């Protein structure tokens, strides 16, 4: 069982289509959320909606994350958004290394540079790791190990402890095929053991590890029971009703 306060992050990706719809979705999620519920709820809208949403929840009852960040603080980088800009809007977390960005060519080195940029501005990096396929040979452990080692290479134990690792098997993202609770529990233990080897037991324990990949109201309770510290939710976070049911599934009974 997880000893961390559960964390549920909704990754809205390239949705919804208008700022008005984004506000309405955030308001609907907030309305359903019980005051003082022991859970950290975060939404990650597209960049243009961020300022509206941080204003909607000034007390941080619903926190706002960015879906990406650039590694540099300023300069001639057309189209990029820095960690300082996000922090100035009230953003508290940032998703880094999502498989959809890695598929566009983002490398482990770029992920590490973005993590460093986020940490400089006290944003919590939510770093995604996960294998493309599971073929029964166990190669998925090697893939995740390489990603976690690359992430850890430049980080002190203190910096690492501030990070959230999202285990997101790519074959489960947006496909409707979720990993089983047994798969998730096994990978969770694998990552914690690796962090303990790379750092120490206390650091290995402090890092929050969440799961993402076709989490839905129907599978959330079983997946949470596998010991994860929460979820990164894509498709199901676009409905306040589904997202709320997932949040309820991580609350203590
Ligand atoms: C995601 O985008 O990180 C994700 C897990 O998506 P979905 O829940 O739709 O699989």
With a 6 Å cutoff on the Cβ, whether 232 touches ligand 1 is yes
**In the chain, % of residues over pLDDT 70:** 100
On the 0-12 / 13-18 / 19+ scale of CB atoms within 10 A, 127 is buried
Mean pLDDT of the chain: 95
Q: pLDDT tens for residues 121-141?
A: 999 999 999 999 888 888 999
pLDDT band at 159 (very low <50, low <70, confident <90, very high): very high
d(CA 118, CA 82): 8
Average pLDDT over residues 244-253: 93
Q: State how far the alpha carbon of 244 is from the alpha carbons of 24, 37, 61, 248, in Å.
A: 15, 12, 14, 6
Instruction: For residue 204, name the pLDDT band (cuts at 50, 70, 90).
Output: very high
Distance from residue 151's CA to the centre of ligand 1 (Å):
21
pLDDT score of 247 more than 80: yes
Q: Is the pLDDT of residue 67 over 70?
A: yes
Whole-angstrom Cα Rg for the chain: 17
pLDDT at 196 over 70: yes
Q: Which of 100, 131, 140, 168 is an active site residue?
A: 168
Q: Which domains does the chain have, with CATH numbers?
A: 7-250 (3.20.20.70)
Q: Would you say the CB of residue 99 lies under 6 angstroms from ligand 1?
A: no
Average pLDDT, stretch 82-100? 97
Looking at residue 1, its pLDDT comes to 64
Question: How many other CB atoms are found less than 10 A from the CB of residue 175?
Answer: 12
d(C-alpha 218, C-alpha 21), whole Å: 25
pLDDT at 212: 96
Pick the residue whose CA is nearest to atom 3 on ligand 1: 234
What pLDDT score does 17 carry?
98
From the alpha carbon of 237, which atom of ligand 1 is closest? 8
Determine if the pTM surpasses 0.85: yes
- pLDDT of 137: 85
């Amino acid at each position: 069982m997880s000893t961390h306060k559960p964390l549920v992050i909704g990754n809205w990706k390239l949705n919804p289509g208008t700022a008005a719809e984004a506000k309405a979705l955030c308001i609907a999620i907030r309305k359903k959320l019980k005051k003082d519920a022991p859970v950290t709820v975060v939404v990650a809208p597209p960049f243009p909606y961020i300022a509206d949403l941080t204003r909607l929840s000034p007390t941080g009852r619903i926190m706002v994350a960015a879906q990406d960040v650039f590694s540099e603080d300023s300069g001639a980088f057309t189209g990029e958004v820095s960690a300082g800009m996000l922090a100035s809007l009230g953003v508290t977390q940032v998703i880094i290394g999502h498989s959809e960005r890695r598929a566009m060519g983002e490398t482990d080195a770029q992920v590490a540079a973005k993590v460093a940029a986020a940490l400089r501005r006290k944003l919590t990096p939510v770093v995604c790791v996960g294998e493309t396929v599971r073929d029964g040979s166990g190669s998925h452990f090697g893939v995740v190990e390489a990603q976690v080692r690359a992430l850890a290479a430049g980080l002190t134990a203190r910096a690492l402890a501030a990070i959230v690792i999202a285990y997101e098997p790519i074959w489960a993202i947006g496909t409707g095929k979720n990993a089983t609770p047994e798969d998730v529990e096994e990978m969770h233990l694998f990552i914690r053991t690796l962090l303990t080897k790379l750092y120490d037991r206390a650091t290995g324990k402090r890092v929050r590890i969440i799961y993402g990949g076709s989490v839905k109201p129907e599978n959330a309770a079983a997946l949470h029971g596998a010991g994860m510290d929460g979820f990164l939710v894509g498709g199901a976070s676009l409905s306040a009703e589904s997202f709320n049911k997932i949040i309820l599934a991580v609350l203590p009974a």
